[in-house]
Amino acid sequence: MAVGKEIVTWFEGRWHKGNAPIIRAADHAAWLGSAVFDGARQFEGVRPDLDLHAARIIRSAEVMGMVAPVDAATVQGLLLEGCAMFPPDAALYLRPMMWACDSTPGIIDLVPESTGFSICIETLPMPEPGAFSLTVSPFSRPRPDMALTEAKAASLYANNGRIMAEARTRGFSNALSRDPDGNVAETASTNVFLVREGAVFTPVPNGTFLDGLTRRRVIGLLRSDGVEVVECTLTIGDFHKADEIFVTGNIAKVMPVARFEDRIFARTPMGERARALYWEWAHSGAAG
């Protein structure tokens, strides 16, 4: 099911209007989960870090064991071409995807050179701050020896989806998930930061969650603005003691948390600062 009302799909050498079919019933990805994707954004006429998103889909395909049929420059060019089919100020979600079509005679493993490629671009408004809430999930993230955590792999998102769904049944927007050692990893769909006494803390990448492009960008922007940012091991208790919490990801970029469990954050100055810094950078012409 599509998330946007207006969609264009690039597949097999041309653009199609709408949510075009791209995977066949016997394709490896349809029943064995060998799909990877990336997610970039266009908003207010800018497309931050588009080159990095285009490069990451290639790396994800390689981690999955596929041979990418296009290079990063081609992906970026097609994303720009697709964006030009919408108004310049349209809020868009840009999703390049790759997947394996063929299986080896052993059935389960994929044929690397059989990689399919598509791009889906959908209209999707940027979420506004003010109502984003977090709880704690009963479900954990896998270690690298349990799953292909180095890739932005579709197979990881069944677990992410149940984290999100369970949180929403309890009236929350999202949930903190833990790694197998019980420390905070990320939410179902974003990286997470806490603020304490003017310093910003975020889980150190340990292979159990994606070290997001927006995460890295925000860390750099905050440090350049004089904010101390510490990557370290964090527990649920650390988040309960936080002065504020904010998250980063491709859908909203930077989102202050208004409520964590039963606690309301009346003020979120650091989250707002991080969001303002990101917006300023995105509009500066340096965002790619």
Query: How do the domains of the chain map onto residue ranges?
Result: 7-123, 133-282
CB 240 within 8 A of CB 135: no
Give the CATH H-level superfamily of domain 133-282.
D-amino Acid Aminotransferase, subunit A, domain 2 (3.20.10.10)
Closest to 72 measured CA to CA, from 95, 98, 53: 53
The verdict on pTM exceeding 0.85 is: yes
How far is it, in rounded angstroms, from Cα 175 to Cα 224? 29
Q: Which fold has domain 7-123?
A: D-amino Acid Aminotransferase; Chain A, domain 1 (3.30.470)
Can you say whether the dihedral through the CA atoms of 99, 156, 208, 269 is positive or negative? positive
DSSP label at residue 199: E
How far is it, in rounded angstroms, from Cα 60 to Cα 43? 25
CB 9 within 8 A of CB 15: yes
How far is it, in rounded angstroms, from Cα 248 to Cα 278? 10
Closest to 282 measured CA to CA, from 214, 229, 225: 214
CB 40 within 8 A of CB 94: yes
pLDDT of residue 1: 46
pLDDT of residue 3: 72
User: Average pLDDT for consecutive 10-residue bins of the chain (288 residues)?
Assistant: 82 96 96 96 97 98 97 98 97 98 91 98 96 98 94 95 98 98 98 98 96 98 98 98 98 98 96 98 81
How far is it, in rounded angstroms, from Cα 10 to Cα 141? 32
How far is it, in rounded angstroms, from Cα 22 to Cα 151? 21
DSSP label at residue 103: B
Q: Which residue carries 């599509």 as its tokens?
A: 2
Specify the 3-state DSSP secondary structure of 160: helix
How far is it, in rounded angstroms, from Cα 125 to Cα 81? 20
pLDDT of residue 5: 82
